[in-house]
Structure 1
């Protein structure tokens, strides 16, 4: 598909659907001179890699109408003006009596439509609409606390990988696109969110016991000072995570990017290396490093995990 121009408006045909695009000339990243058109074109380029991580998942919209440095808000319910062809899923919220229709990005036309709503970031659920109560991935969210760095988060990710690998459990790493690292563990869809959250919490506590100088599972300000938090809280029904290849609303237009475990262990990469401008070329060189994330697996008993990396 041809790149869209940075014009006030354009109409493109995607998968047989006419998608009207607005404000393509609007600058979304002032320091880089990148416009909304650049965002649309990025997602057109990476869509073959991105769409498998969005398809079938309820999608939480997060528009940034004034660009990456402007205000944003979460929007669960698809707006009334959305075209009839945009895929959606009816969700009965536990805290409300009413139902809401959520977007589901099933194809390129859906993706272009949500990006036109100024959704810089992609926020899908950790479960799919055909079985929303059972996630197919567990998330260990590594968040550097005050006094720690992205390099420290990479070290903790490497320790987690070694810990899980000893139990024969596959895991994958990606930058969050901000200051942290996401470690993803693919699952068979047999566990409840509570079971997954409890497992992630137990793994986090296990590593924190072994590496108390750099790792914490506690969310208090005191516990986080000088340590990397292994956060388990996003493992819940209705929670979302920035998908692989999601752009982020940062000053440098970073992208949540999968890493090889060699890159994690060598700890030479930085989030700022992976942007709207660089990730398409990286994908052409290394492909999708998370391709086997779709292959589910059983969770090991935490008591059976070996110890982490040697000091």
Structure 2
């Protein structure tokens, strides 16, 4: 892969299912490494079975970069009106009560079609088109705060793995975020609402925090987090999404969110997985998360833990993001330092 020089005509990308037209294939998307729009499309073809598995039948928000990875971007939630009729859609509801039709990919060609519109990162909802109100994945985002790095996220992830096993024999599937963090996805039965799944995520975060108090935090307010790994429980709230496996991230070296085996988490380096290296890795090991769809765990043990936290320790809900309507039982959304100042 590499930069093409001069302006070239549109090309056709064959996905094996259908052919998708790609205009301006030589336009540079990642300036530092010279990767072009064609390189991006060919990358998505190379990892096609993996990214399709991550997106299949899921309402998906597109993170688009019209000026390339170094330029401005926007999130497209509503599928363009001119989208092909072979790309299914689903009507999702936001916390505000508004709705939108989002694309629900069912074939790799949909990913290439989105790449034609300068999509680098795909943000699938944790639900399928047949049940838009009950997630089938518990997604745990281990987010390094200033002063911490990937190695700190690894230590938290390894403890998280043990924790999940203890509470219902849950199996987590790790991947790099494409930055310094780690994501761990747990396939679950689609029996619980977004609110209940978020409650389970909070319980996970609090238990991990108890086990690693100097290394992990669930503090929503940045001023309270310190140099710890933040368990971003709000990534499980309705309309909050996490970059899919195999998505490209808009950083200079064109990193990707890479699925990992647990036995390679500790030795992995996020910078090793990028647009140039991932196709070879995928050809060698395939989609390491291919088995996720064969599992569906119960959240009952984690929800029981949440009940115990509230009953025995008075630990109820935690703040939602600022754009959300006030939720029942939610504490005040006031920055601690500001609340103390106003007393």
Between the aligned partners of 1:137 and 1:16, the Cα distance in structure 2 is: 28
- Please tell me the root mean square deviation across aligned C-alpha atoms, in Å: 2.0
| SS of structure 2 residue aligned to 1:126 | coil
**Cα 1:40–1:205, aligned 2, differ >3 Å: closer, same or farther?**
same
Conserved 8 A contact 1:139-1:234: yes
- Does residue 135 of structure 1 match 2:135? yes
| Equivalence for 2:278 | 279
Conserved 8 A contact 1:11-1:20: yes
Conserved 8 A contact 2:92-2:132: no
Between the aligned partners of 1:53 and 1:84, the Cα distance in structure 2 is: 21
Conserved 8 A contact 1:144-1:152: yes
**Cα 1:13–1:293, aligned 2, differ >3 Å: closer, same or farther?**
closer
| Equivalence for 1:308 | none
What do the CA deviations read for 1:261-281 (whole angstroms, capped 9, x no partner)? 1222xx232210001111122
Q: TM-score, structure 2 length as denominator?
A: 0.82
Between the aligned partners of 2:301 and 2:17, the Cα distance in structure 1 is: 48
| Equivalence for 1:195 | 196
1:87 Cα offset (Å): 2.3
- Does residue 299 of structure 1 match 2:336? no
Between the aligned partners of 2:165 and 2:95, the Cα distance in structure 1 is: 37
Between the aligned partners of 1:29 and 1:123, the Cα distance in structure 2 is: 20
| SS of structure 2 residue aligned to 1:74 | strand
| Equivalence for 2:125 | 125
Conserved 8 A contact 2:59-2:125: yes
**Cα 1:188–1:16, aligned 2, differ >3 Å: closer, same or farther?**
closer
What do the CA deviations read for 1:124-165 (whole angstroms, capped 9, x no partner)? 111111101111110110011111111100110001001112
- Does residue 112 of structure 1 match 2:88? no
| Equivalence for 1:309 | none
Conserved 8 A contact 1:87-1:110: no
| Equivalence for 2:22 | 21
| Equivalence for 2:163 | 163
**Cα 1:172–1:94, aligned 2, differ >3 Å: closer, same or farther?**
closer
1:92 Cα offset (Å): 4.7
What do the CA deviations read for 1:110-135 (whole angstroms, capped 9, x no partner)? 11101111001111111111101111
1:12 Cα offset (Å): 4.1
Between the aligned partners of 1:240 and 1:18, the Cα distance in structure 2 is: 29
Between the aligned partners of 1:185 and 1:117, the Cα distance in structure 2 is: 31
Between the aligned partners of 1:35 and 1:234, the Cα distance in structure 2 is: 31
What do the CA deviations read for 1:239-274 (whole angstroms, capped 9, x no partner)? 22111111111111111011121222xx23221000
- Does residue 247 of structure 1 match 2:209? no
1:236 Cα offset (Å): 2.3
Between the aligned partners of 1:78 and 1:293, the Cα distance in structure 2 is: 27
What do the CA deviations read for 1:152-199 (whole angstroms, capped 9, x no partner)? 001100010011123321111100111210011110111111111101
**Cα 1:223–1:25, aligned 2, differ >3 Å: closer, same or farther?**
same
| Equivalence for 2:154 | 154
| Equivalence for 2:213 | 212
1:84 Cα offset (Å): 2.9
Stretches of structure 1 that go unaligned for 5 or more consecutive residues are 306-311
- Does residue 289 of structure 1 match 2:288? yes
Conserved 8 A contact 2:217-2:225: yes
Stretches of structure 2 that go unaligned for 5 or more consecutive residues are 307-343
Q: Number of residues paired by the alignment? A: 298
Between the aligned partners of 1:148 and 1:276, the Cα distance in structure 2 is: 25
What do the CA deviations read for 1:10-61 (whole angstroms, capped 9, x no partner)? 2345566552211111111111111111000000111012211111111111
State which drifts further: 230-239 or 251-260: 230-239
| SS of structure 2 residue aligned to 1:233 | helix
Q: TM-score, structure 1 length as denominator?
A: 0.90
| Equivalence for 2:48 | 47
Conserved 8 A contact 2:22-2:38: no
